[in-house]
Amino acid sequence: VAPVTIGAGAYVATGTTVTQDVPDDALAIARVKQQNKLGYAGRLKSRLQAAARRDSEKLRVEGKK
């Protein structure tokens, strides 16, 4: 994250990531086109659940549960 300056009286739009200085009384808007990554959330959930099961089993084997 680079240091940036937000000028006096400037506004920053909701959801904007400021990457450069914003002049006085300016409105900073930074938007990118939305990307939907089909199936990503389901794959992530599966990986997280598998990791949780491994961690749980490891704790049982080590006698910590």
What does pTM read for this prediction?
0.50
User: Do 59 and 45 share a structural domain?
Assistant: yes
pLDDT at 31: 85
pLDDT attached to residue 34: 81
Same domain, 27 and 49: no
Asked whether residue 11 carries a pLDDT value surpassing 60, the answer given is yes
- 46 and 23 part of one domain: no
Domains: count for the chain: 2
pLDDT bracket for residue 1 (50, 70, 90): low
Q: Which residues contact 7 (CB under 8 A, 6 or more apart)?
A: 21, 22, 23, 24, 25, 26
Domain span at 5: 1-32
- What is the predicted pLDDT for the residue at 64? 62
Please indicate, yes or no, whether residues 61 and 41 belong to a single structural domain of this protein.
Answer: yes
Note whether 1 and 23 are same-domain residues.
Answer: yes
**What average pLDDT does this structure show over 12-25?**
94
Residues 3 and 23 in one domain: yes
pLDDT of residue 13: 94
Whether residues 19 and 46 fall in one domain: no
